[in-house]
Structure 1
Amino acid sequence: MRYRKFKADFIFDGKNILGEDKVLITNENGVIETIVNEAEAGDGVQAFKGWLSPGFINCHCHLELSHMNNVIESGTGLVDFLITVVGKRGFEKAIIAEAIKAADTEMYENGIVAVGDICNTADTIPAKHVSKIRYYNFIEAIGFTNNNISIVFERFIKLYNNFIIEELTDASIVPHAPYTISSAMFELINNASAGKIVSIHNQETEAENELYRTKTGDFFKLYQQLNINTGFFQPYGKSSLPSYLTLLSKAKNLLLVHNTFTTQADIDFAFQQSKANQQQVFWCFCPNANLYIENQLPDIKLFIDNDCNIVLGTDSYSSNYSLNLLDEMRTLQTHFPFLETERMLQWATYNGAAALGIQDRYGSFEKGKQPGILLITNFRDKKLMQTSAATRIV
């Protein structure tokens, strides 16, 4: 068997930075064999300037919204943003398909090997069939009222089955967000996605917490726009996370996305709930989308201090200027200078693979895995710079 050998200034193996005296060895197909000392590697070692890393895992994206680049003004706040998405997402099918294809290519070229993708339509299926990226397809359910709930849910089952029939079997039916899902809809989702990975947009705006505490706030503007009768909804007297999380008890992994207005009490509740249900909770940050929509970031230090499982996402072109995880890391490092690149790379590789349940192949340089190999260049004192870039080596 022919082996390939790689060394660089540093090797990041998915969890730790290894020194320049180490050599990464794969077979000719990029399957990891081992990491050895350079003195033991023999001839034929390819040397690079920069860091070697496993391929990136983008845990939150809306590929089907790729045609909405620069369509929505930034800084509107989440409620007005959602109203605009609903009103402007309808484009010609050919334009949508071309934008999806271009976004998929962009992510691949930026070193992304797997994506947790939100799906409201079947528009992305053709691109995913030929993509070099592995997708976990989150079929997103929406239904805030209890009217005709079984009939409404059938639409999401039908969409889910479209992906399964097309052999895109990494999929589950998931709730959009607490403010668009009734308790009855939560129950249907919980049963349908038992043992699977469930994603939900969580506490992206303080208005979500207001709704659950006191049934007040900006979301009533959205409900009026969508002609939704909210008479049945009763406030819980507490923030949204402890109000809904008990309704997602059967998922294997919970992927909570955004968390911009999540507090210590919310984190404590999530830990207690996940332990009781033998679940893993992952907290996904999409900082550029948070700045684009609400101009506010989560309290990253709070999550680190609580030893949370953190992962990263790009969100979509409706709320971002790129689909590049290095851009997300750069933004975090700018606003939270204490963040080490090593820590963020773990979020973007090993943690991301674990969140999507694909750590058997992706996320780290361990024997038998085929995670892809990236070369990340241009650092200053181990910090990312604006010129830092990820290039695919394998």
Structure 2
Amino acid sequence: MRSFIADYVYTIQADPLKNGIVTVDDAGKILSVTDDKTTLPADTEIETLSGVITPGFINTHCHTELSHLEGQIAPGNSLIPFIQDILGFRGKFEDAIIKEAAERADKQMRDNGIVAVGDISNTSFTANLKAASNLYYHTFVEILGFVPSGAEAAFQGALATLEKFKPQSASITAHAPYTVSKELFKLIKKYSDTGTNLLSIHNQECEEENKFYRYKLGAFLDLYKHLNINIDFFKPQARNSLQSIVPLLSNRQKVLLVHNTCTNLKDIYFIKRFDRKINWCFCPNANIYIEKRLPKIELFLNQDMNITLGTDSLASNTKLCILSEMQTIDKNFPSIGFDTLIKWATINGAEFLGIDDSKGSIEPGKTPGLNLLTGMDGTKLTPETTVRKLV
């Protein structure tokens, strides 16, 4: 049994406790949370810490299998060149290098106080890593296939990959509007309507995506040409990509829309007209790395929709650290505040992944992990704030 006292304890489900005390057992299970030392057994050893204790962080969007591309892609060149670079690196790294990089990424996330990950996979390469990890993983097996005639083959290939992750928590999902045909979306919807199948979709990462969907113009035409994909079948939709695909999604599953760099207020209002379980994920450091811009995060506030945080991959980020994502948002949107950001980083992600019975908040009986944030200005983030995993 261990007890920690800190300047503040953010339980998430209640107001922060000043001079709060958290007691855990050897397995990390929360035994008690209090601000009254007299309620503890007389022989309890208390470690006094300077800083803020929070639950472990939830990273709802990562690509662990791309960790070997750390530092390989120059930042700031925009999404489509980034995609071309990713595709260009396929087959150029030995399996041992990819495996070692994924293992380092897993350790980096643990060291940075992350306890659970929503991870995108196109292959089964990370299955063994995830099975052995101390982190909780939900794997989104990602399907790509923009040509209608290839929909069934792409879908069956994803199901085969999904089997290799079982009995781990995993589901199949669409990659993005510009890589998934209507026919493939319909197959995913049919599958999602029959059981539990969390969805995570890359959404509106650049203006070119909306331009392509609205007018069938722009840089995506060059990308399809580069990939030798004939898109004569595709017709302009006269609406943004998000508005085009929402009707194709299941209303029985939670859906995570990731990045949302170019999502506007009309898109948000459009979604609210539909019976869909929409959640949002922001990965601000990756947005800056790829597009040199951030989503209009203030538009998403007070919309009664769940907001979570992610890191994206080391191909598009310099670190896998949820605290760093919070600091970037705080720097650019200071009015949001730490009390809101810490919920995005913990309980909101746990609720989306369906693990809020054990993660996301500091409550007796849970095993959420404990982080210590130092370098705070009271209860405000600063550029000097750092994270240390306590449990």
TM-score, with length taken from structure 1 = 0.94
Among 320, 324, 327, the residue aligned to 2:321: 324
1:351-386: CA deviation from partner (whole Å, max 9, x where unpaired): 010111111111011232111111111112432233
Aligned equivalents of 1:356, 1:158: Cα separation in 2 = 22
How far 1:94 sits from its partner (Å)?
A: 0.7
1:185-334 matches, within 5 Å, as 185-194=184-193, 195-273=196-274, 276-277=275-276, 279=277, 281-334=278-331
Alignment check: 8 A CA contact 1:10 1:17 kept? no
1:348-363 matches, within 5 Å, as 348-363=345-360
1:186-220: CA deviation from partner (whole Å, max 9, x where unpaired): 01111223332100000111111111111111111
Aligned equivalents of 2:5, 2:281: Cα separation in 1 = 31
Number of the residue aligned with 2:152: 150
Which 4+ residue blocks in structure 1 deviate beyond 6 angstroms? none
Number of the residue aligned with 2:377: 380
Aligned equivalents of 1:360, 1:239: Cα separation in 2 = 37
Q: Which moved more, 1:16-25 or 1:377-386?
A: 16-25
Among 34, 37, 46, the residue aligned to 2:35: 37
How far 1:16 sits from its partner (Å)?
A: 4.7
Alignment check: 8 A CA contact 1:15 1:346 kept? no
1:22-74: CA deviation from partner (whole Å, max 9, x where unpaired): 32233332212332231443342332111111100000000000000111111
How far 1:6 sits from its partner (Å)?
A: 2.3
Aligned equivalents of 1:73, 1:39: Cα separation in 2 = 53
Q: Which moved more, 1:36-45 or 1:339-348?
A: 36-45
Which residues of structure 1 form unaligned runs of 5+? Answer: none
Number of the residue aligned with 2:7: 9
Aligned equivalents of 1:14, 1:226: Cα separation in 2 = 47
Query: Cα 1:16–1:340, aligned 2, differ >3 Å: closer, same or farther?
Result: farther
Number of the residue aligned with 2:16: 18
The secondary structure found in structure 1 opposite 2:72 is coil
The secondary structure found in structure 1 opposite 2:223 is helix
Corresponding letter in the other structure for 1:60: H
Corresponding letter in the other structure for 1:52: I
The secondary structure found in structure 2 opposite 1:342 is helix
Number of the residue aligned with 2:140: 138
Alignment check: 8 A CA contact 2:61 2:117 kept? yes
Corresponding letter in the other structure for 1:304: L
Query: Cα 1:15–1:89, aligned 2, differ >3 Å: closer, same or farther?
Result: farther
The secondary structure found in structure 2 opposite 1:323 is coil
How far 1:17 sits from its partner (Å)?
A: 4.5
1:277-303: CA deviation from partner (whole Å, max 9, x where unpaired): 4x2x21100000000111110111111
* Root mean square deviation of aligned Cα: 1.5
Aligned equivalents of 1:309, 1:12: Cα separation in 2 = 19
Alignment check: 8 A CA contact 2:18 2:35 kept? no
Query: Cα 1:350–1:303, aligned 2, differ >3 Å: closer, same or farther?
Result: same
Quote the sequence identity (%): 43
Alignment check: 8 A CA contact 1:197 1:251 kept? no
1:321-355: CA deviation from partner (whole Å, max 9, x where unpaired): 00011111111111112231121111010001011
Alignment check: 8 A CA contact 2:56 2:368 kept? yes
How far 1:270 sits from its partner (Å)?
A: 1.7
Which residues of structure 2 form unaligned runs of 5+? Answer: none
Aligned equivalents of 2:63, 2:300: Cα separation in 1 = 24
